[in-house]
Structure 1
Amino acid sequence: MNFFQTGYKGKNDWWMYIVTLILVFIGTQVGSIPLAIAAYNQVDGDMQRFSETANDAWLNIGMDSNLYLFLMILSFVAGLLMLYLAVRAIHRKKWKWIVTSRDNIDWKRVFFGVTVWGAISIIFIGLDIFLSPESYEWNFKPIPFFTLVLVSVLFIPLQTSLEEHLFRGYYMQAIGMWVKNRWFPLIVTSVVFGLLHGANPEIDKIGYIAFVFYIGTGFFFGIVTLLDEGTELAIGMHAINNIIAALFVTTDWTVFRTDALYVDTSDPSVGWEMFLPVFVLYPLVLIIFSKKYGWKNWQEKLFGKVEKPINQDVIEELGS
């Protein structure tokens, strides 16, 4: 049974997917309340100052960056919890059914994704620092940094898990079951995933060209999911990508403004680092994964039909 056929398990009435989207949205909004309260208290209840800084990540008002990161992630945690409850209570599905087509979630795949993408990311960050040392300032502060490590390792995977389970799992399966093919859900979820990053400050600083990276990354994670018949590799790569982004290099114009090891002092610009992952590194990683896991029939897995399995066990529901 492949990844899309696994999606047929449980209940899949169309209205359930709309209700789930609404619940996840409500969850993220409720989860953002602690951040809003902390920011409001930071400006001593000054509503004008609060409204003026709310669109700038609330860091310019002097909020501790680690506290901000933790509170920001809470909105994703609340959204993930709502998705979990909807999958279990509304769809009557087991959580693993939106994660993988395998009998159980393959954690070795998750950690292999972490290892491969983590190593590549660190190598290229180090290379850029070596080639352009004038653009970086050493920023190591023991207590803030190790606090950042703790917050990042424990909580950033929850943020990325919401995005992966929602886009590459839940809605990838749903759209595939509706349209009966693989390529359309890949396009839709990848484009929507990229466009939802339009609120990131990078868009304002660099321009819409940044969507090349965000949408390209969505396609990469989606392609990996389809070829591997599960989201484990994408989950691992997405988590380590954001952890490294938080720990190694920060700027005053990106979504992750942290007490990282280095501060990038260069002016925002469109450089090779915007296109290298999409057009060079992502294809390289696909080759590595293909060799590791023996991926075959790429055309069928990316462009083939989605067929409902005829086995009776597809009607299995949680607890049956």
Structure 2
Amino acid sequence: MEQNFIKMNQGINNWKRYTSSFFLFMFSMFLGSIIYFLALIIFAEKDGNDQTYFDFKEMVGVNVRPEFDFIFSNLTYVIWILGMALFIKLIHKRKLKTLITPNEKINWKRVFWGFGLFFCLLTVTTIVDALFNPQDYSLNNIQVQDFLFLFLFVLILTPIQTTAEEVFFRGYLMQWFGRKVSHPLVLSIIVGSIFGALHFSNPEMNYSAFFVGSDYVLSGILWCYITARTNSAELTIGAHAANNMFIGWFLTMDDSVFGKLPSLFVIDNINPKTTLLWTVISLSVFTYYSIKNFDNKKTINDELEQDIHSSFK
């Protein structure tokens, strides 16, 4: 029988080990955040512009070009994923790969399939929305070299950022909570809601706490459900990267976690209800085809039967 990704039995996975690794994972992210702020401070001091400085009260770089802030902020995720790779090996005696797939090797075809389908869905829904609301979209007034600079670093850094989040939420937390919660939907609601709630501090929430928050939670739950049903985080690693790379390359707006990047288009008059509608459509289609093509129901059912039988012993 194929090994269950959620009920991971590789390495040592008791609750004491999970508690220890959790705090070490958080330490890795904290260390990455410190490096981010140090990079901002040094850059603000050394860039030769008197208007650029680091505001220690607000903890932000003032007048720092958003593409440089983007690069520095992603250092957090580089340190975080390196920390997770180190501590999953030291504490749980297994590889980082086990937080992505239970198999011997990562199936890159799945990753790129998830990336390709979700990128296409985002492209189609954005074009349709632009056709209905052309007044909300305009070409960004940017230099070609600035966009190419952004394009390169989004290509390099964004997959690291999104993979770090997927490894932690769809891998680590689902495996930890999955030790006690067997039903894939219940597990997905728990971990997916945590994922969504931790995005509530994003500036996009200023548009509408309810609708934008619902967007985050829905994304978290469905990506967790896809992970449980397909027995790996490969599809969601691809989809999450597609989502953030698409936004980074093509769409910039006020009150965005990405900042005013030199993306190709600017969006005005954000309607959070419409945005949530397009998210529901994109995620529904992605979930349907992911489960249709990669469902691993047999492994899930076998695990559920084992849990039921063990509970009567």
Q: 1:259 maps to what in 2?
A: 262
Q: Distance in 1 between matches of 2:148 and 2:58?
A: 27
Q: Distance in 2 between matches of 1:37 and 1:97?
A: 32
1:52: how far off?
4.8
Question: Does the 8 Å CA contact 2:253/2:268 hold for their aligned counterparts?
Answer: yes
Amino acid corresponding to residue 263 of structure 1 in structure 2: V
Equivalent pairs, count? 299
The DSSP-based 3-state class of the residue aligned with 2:9 is coil
Match among 220, 223, 226 for residue 221 of structure 1: 223
Q: 2:86 maps to what in 1?
A: 85
1:136: how far off?
2.0
Q: 2:175 maps to what in 1?
A: 173
| Superposition pairs of residues 91-110 of structure 1, within 5 angstroms | 91-110=92-111
1:6: how far off?
5.6
Q: Distance in 1 between matches of 2:174 and 2:264?
A: 36
Question: Does the 8 Å CA contact 1:182/1:305 hold for their aligned counterparts?
Answer: no
Q: Distance in 1 between matches of 2:111 and 2:227?
A: 12
| Superposition pairs of residues 1-320 of structure 1, within 5 angstroms | 1-4=2-5, 7-41=8-42, 50-54=55-59, 58=60, 61-139=62-140, 140-257=142-259, 258-266=261-269, 268-278=270-280, 280-293=281-294, 295=295, 297=297, 301=300, 305=304, 307=306
Question: Does the 8 Å CA contact 1:112/1:236 hold for their aligned counterparts?
Answer: yes
1:5: how far off?
6.3
Detail structure 1 runs of 4+ shifted over 6 Å in the superposition: none
Question: Does the 8 Å CA contact 1:167/1:189 hold for their aligned counterparts?
Answer: yes
Question: Does the 8 Å CA contact 1:76/1:162 hold for their aligned counterparts?
Answer: yes
Identity of aligned residues (%): 25
Question: Does the 8 Å CA contact 1:161/1:235 hold for their aligned counterparts?
Answer: yes
Question: Does the 8 Å CA contact 2:170/2:227 hold for their aligned counterparts?
Answer: yes
Relative distance call for 1:118 and 1:245 in structure 2 (3 A) is same
Structure 2: runs of 5 or more not aligned: 308-313
1:24: how far off?
1.9
- Aligned CA RMSD, in angstroms, stands at 2.6
Relative distance call for 1:303 and 1:272 in structure 2 (3 A) is farther
Structure 1: runs of 5 or more not aligned: 309-320
Q: Distance in 2 between matches of 1:2 and 1:220?
A: 22
Amino acid corresponding to residue 97 of structure 1 in structure 2: T
1:253: how far off?
0.7
Relative distance call for 1:264 and 1:14 in structure 2 (3 A) is same
What TM-score, normalized to structure 1?
0.84
